[in-house]
Structure 1
Amino acid sequence: MTYNQLDPNKVYLITGAAGFIGYYLSRKLLDQGCKVIGLDNINDYYDVNLKHARLQQLEPYENFTFIKGDIADKGLITEIFEGHKPNIVVNLAAQAGVRYSIENPDVYIQSNIIGFYNILEACRHYPVEHLVYASSSSVYGANKKVPFEESDFVDTPVSLYAATKKSNELMAYTYSHLYKIPATGLRFFTVYGPMGRPDMAYFGFADKYFAGEPIKIFNNGDFENDLYRDFTYVDDIVEGIERLLSNPPVGDVQHKVFNIGNNNPEKLMVFIETLEKCLGKALGREVVFEKVFEPIKPGDVPATYASTDELQKAVGFKPKTSIEEGLQKFADWYVDYYKVKW
């Protein structure tokens, strides 16, 4: 399977560049000599120090331009497209988190709906070669058929976050149909790794452990019917995106949606035990979390499991990092970054 390589002469606009995936993708493109315009509003949904730490690693690159701003600011988006004329746009800026969408729905509409609409409008008025945007595995809702395939019915989202991501897919399809904008949506499956998001469970578990607090596990304490998650290491996600960037969809409607997941779901408890072992290895001693079992939270789904056949067909790629390897890299980074001494 061949795919078009990146063209370092192109201008790449990455929104959410100080975010977890945005940072890794920006760095990967910059390492290959590409010109990257990074946009981020550095919101305080989680520790902004981590966002600044990511940006500090991008700033030394001559080809990197950072703009602090919000995709919900239509005037700013127009200015960026006018001034920088991006060839390829990767929209990763979004309000993340399933549970937070229940507490604070306003920010999801602002960022994920209005912000994405502004990006689509800009791509319409300042045509681009390819728009790649973040969707989510949460669009599958409580889908019982596994693995999840891109052709599955996704009209029953169980959180507002999922509903906004499904809306993004519909909006992108419409703009592709009306204005011939080549667009690709990516349904990410539980992305993890060093410098990840502190609101994600694995990161929170490490925080709780070092604070001497028990971890809460929202699976009803039911080990027989434990939650399954398709945990995907960040490097695999970034390689999948990178391969797709120069390969826009073709056809009557230039719109395509892909799963990017590990295609190998793990029980939540197995993931937790592996994290204990990896932290133990990083510290040189045994690590055992104190565990409190709670009911499943509203909006959570019992299983996420990606079929990656379509991605493999399109660009010859299938994620391959095991949770043992990925969690060890996270644990080593965490112990070093937070200067954990025990």
Structure 2
Amino acid sequence: MTVQGPVLVTGSAGFIGFHTARRLLARGETVIGVDNLNHYYDPALKHARLERLQAEPNYIHHTLDLADRTGMTALFADHSPRRIVHLGAQAGIRYSVENPESYVDSNVVGFLTVLEGARAVRAEHLVFASTSSVFGASAALPFSVQQGVAHPLNVYAATKIANEAMAHSYAYIFGIPSTGLRFFTVYGPWGRPDMALFKFTRAILEGRPIDVYGEGAMERDFTFVDDIVDGVVAALDDVPARDPAWRAEAPGQATSGVAPWRILNLGAGRREKLSRYISVLEEAIGRKAILNILPTQEGEMTRTEADISETRDALGYEPKTPIDVGVGQFVDWYRDFYGV
């Protein structure tokens, strides 16, 4: 891989953005990081991630809201990034039920400013985060990128479907090569405090009950963050083109014959019961959890599993980390970071 010009990483102080920026820096890239450091979860964790990035000489940070059109326009004009990894977003399914406006501001308006910036600098490639939540009410496992996504169960998923469509339109009209990556339940060190593994770990160590939704029967494609970053970086290095096999009479869902655009799944390619995930966590901590069994929450999917065959074919993507290894690494990080 030949290092070429700066890479813009949005959401660089977030969970996946932080790991992605570190990987790019480690291979000699200059990274322009953007994050608004909002208070959706403890900003101290975001600042701790940012501190580590700013220790790198090739990292340049901007504290900026993606929906700030003037600020984003100036950022693209100042740095002219030719490659973009757009990971900044308002995340979280349950919060989208309570505060849908913030999702439209961050995920739709904010994505538009990124697309407009990519248009202005004639970007060589835009890689952006989507989510397994787009599959919504579908029960056709494993989820394939060729499936339709017309039945989202929450506003967060709806905004990500909008992102995929917006990227296609810009790829078609302005020729911006774009790759959308549907992430499946990412976990690992430096993770988000609103996610199950973080909350469970904290509660178990403090001797408090953990809330187990779906009566413990929910199944997820838990994907370790290093495996996700492998896919993100591989996607960035592999610029999509129009698909010559695509037919307008029977259009595929994951590629396009009229635009350099594609959608890929990034997951482990297997699903685990939530109850087993908890058992692995108990073993890593060395303490049993007190379970507060609850029904499935509004807007939640009951099962996810990624079909990663097309990602494997396109990128050579091969996730390597089983949950007993990944959960153990998270617990080690948590104990070290919080001095437990």
Q: Same fold (TM over 0.5)?
A: yes
Structure 2 counterparts to residues 1-342 of structure 1, below 5 A = 5=1, 7-219=2-214, 221=215, 226-251=217-242, 252-280=258-286, 287-340=287-340
Is contact 1:131-1:182 (8 Å) kept?
yes
Gaps of 5+ in 2: 243-257
Q: CA deviation at 1:17?
A: 0.2
Q: CA deviation at 1:10?
A: 2.2
Q: CA deviation at 1:262?
A: 0.3
Is contact 1:142-1:302 (8 Å) kept?
no
Partner letter of residue 262 of structure 1?
A: A
Q: CA deviation at 1:274?
A: 0.3
Q: What are the Cα deviations for residues 267-302 of structure 1, in whole angstroms up to 9, with x where unaligned?
A: 00000100110112xxxxxx0010011110011111
CA distance in 1, matches of 2:47, 2:6: 23
Runs of 4+ displaced beyond 4 Å: none
* Secondary structure of the structure 2 residue equivalent to 1:99: helix
* Secondary structure of the structure 1 residue equivalent to 2:60: strand
Is contact 1:89-1:131 (8 Å) kept?
yes
- Paired residues in the alignment total 325
CA distance in 2, matches of 1:258, 1:233: 17
* Secondary structure of the structure 2 residue equivalent to 1:58: helix
CA distance in 2, matches of 1:210, 1:58: 29
Q: CA deviation at 1:210?
A: 2.5
CA distance in 2, matches of 1:326, 1:214: 23
Is contact 2:82-2:121 (8 Å) kept?
no
* Secondary structure of the structure 2 residue equivalent to 1:38: strand
Q: What are the Cα deviations for residues 149-193 of structure 1, in whole angstroms up to 9, with x where unaligned?
A: 001010100000000000000110111111111000000000000
- State TM-score, norm by structure 2: 0.94
Q: What are the Cα deviations for residues 82-116 of structure 1, in whole angstroms up to 9, with x where unaligned?
A: 11000101110100000000011111010001000
Partner letter of residue 151 of structure 2?
A: T
Q: CA deviation at 1:205?
A: 0.6
* Secondary structure of the structure 2 residue equivalent to 1:139: helix
CA distance in 2, matches of 1:326, 1:50: 20
- State TM-score, norm by structure 1: 0.94
* Secondary structure of the structure 2 residue equivalent to 1:196: coil
* Secondary structure of the structure 2 residue equivalent to 1:109: helix
Partner letter of residue 257 of structure 1?
A: I
* Secondary structure of the structure 2 residue equivalent to 1:132: strand
Gaps of 5+ in 1: 281-286
Q: CA deviation at 1:62?
A: 1.0
Percent of paired sites with the same residue: 45
Q: CA deviation at 1:9?
A: 2.7
* Secondary structure of the structure 2 residue equivalent to 1:304: coil
